[in-house]
Amino acid sequence: MHYHTHDSRRSVPGFPDLVLVHPIKRRTIFRELKTMKGRVSAAQTQWLDALAAAGQDAGVWRPDMWAAIVKELSQ
């Protein structure tokens, strides 16, 4: 299962772009998607930090991380 914000103007400011849920592996990951030059906003940092503090797997993915992303999703 997955959720992707298609129109961030109608979402809570800073909430990660992508939520991936694997019920069998009991895993949920939250990812902010950025271009190579894209900056993480203060609101995005607050969300990612809060999710991580709550024990969630939260972070940022960029295009140059493709090999690591594929590896992570294959686990």
Domain that holds residue 58: 2-74
3-state secondary structure of 2: strand
CA-CA distance, 1 to 51, in Å (whole number)?
19
Give the mean model confidence (pLDDT) for residues 1-16: 79
CA-CA distance, 36 to 26, in Å (whole number)?
30
pLDDT given at position 75: 83
Half-sphere exposure of 21 (CA within 13 A, CB side): 5
Q: Number of folded domains in the chain?
A: 1
**Distances, alpha carbon 70 to alpha carbons 19, 29, 40, 52, 64, in Å:** 16, 14, 22, 21, 12
Q: What is the pTM for the complete model shown?
A: 0.86
Q: What's 32's domain CATH number?
A: 3.40.1350.10
What number of other Cβ atoms are within 10 A of residue 18's Cβ?
14
Give the mean model confidence (pLDDT) for residues 56-74: 96
pLDDT given at position 7: 72
pLDDT digits (tens, 9 = 90+) for 19-60: 999 999 999 999 999 999 999 999 999 999 999 999 999 999
pLDDT given at position 56: 97
